[in-house]
């Protein structure tokens, strides 16, 4: 990495690999000429790292979400983080998500019959219909 000694470059790459969310929301953001979530909103930074750890545990089979309340709480943290990311100075558009629908999620099952580019073709009606 330009401007870093070999040891510093190795440590930086290891940190990005092992703690990428933390690193991108702080150090990398600053290196790109923006701000750090860690310094701008330490409470949200702490919460998003907690959510990320919990979701990683779930993905690796070490737990599951225990309640609808926990799920809604984690969704709120994710949406708050997206709101912060929308303040970026790089004109990266992040579409809005309606928060009023979080507590009344209507899940459905969809069978993928064909994947064309980024569009899914096919599907079945929502469960229970």
Share of the chain above pLDDT 90, in %: 30
97-118 pLDDT, tens digit each: 777 766 555 555 555 555 555 5
End-to-end CA distance of the chain: 56
Domains in the chain: boundaries: 6-121
Give yes or no for residue 49 having a pLDDT over 50. yes
Which residues fall within 8 angstroms of residue 127, CB to CB, at 6 or more apart? Answer: 107, 108, 109
- Residue whose tokens read 């701000």: 35
Task: Give the distance from CA 35 to its chain's centroid.
Answer: 18
Q: How far apart are CA 103 and CA 87, in angstroms?
A: 25
Which H or E element spans position 29? helix 29-31
Task: Give the distance from CA 52 to its chain's centroid.
Answer: 7
Q: What is the pLDDT of residue 115?
A: 54
């Amino acid at each position: 990495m330009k401007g870093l000694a070999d040891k510093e470059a190795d440590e930086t790459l290891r940190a990005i690999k092992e703690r990428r969310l933390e690193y991108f929301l702080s150090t990398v953001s600053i290196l790109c000429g923006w701000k750090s979530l860690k310094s701008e909103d330490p409470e949200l930074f702490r919460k998003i790292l907690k959510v990320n750890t919990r979701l990683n545990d779930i993905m690796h089979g070490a737990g599951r979400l225990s309640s609808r309340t926990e799920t809604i709480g984690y969704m709120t943290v994710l949406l708050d983080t997206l709101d912060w990311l929308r303040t970026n100075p790089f004109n990266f558009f992040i579409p809005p998500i309606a928060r009023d629908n979080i507590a009344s999620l209507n899940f459905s099952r969809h069978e993928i019959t064909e994947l064309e580019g980024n569009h899914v073709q096919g599907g079945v009606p929502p469960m229970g219909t």
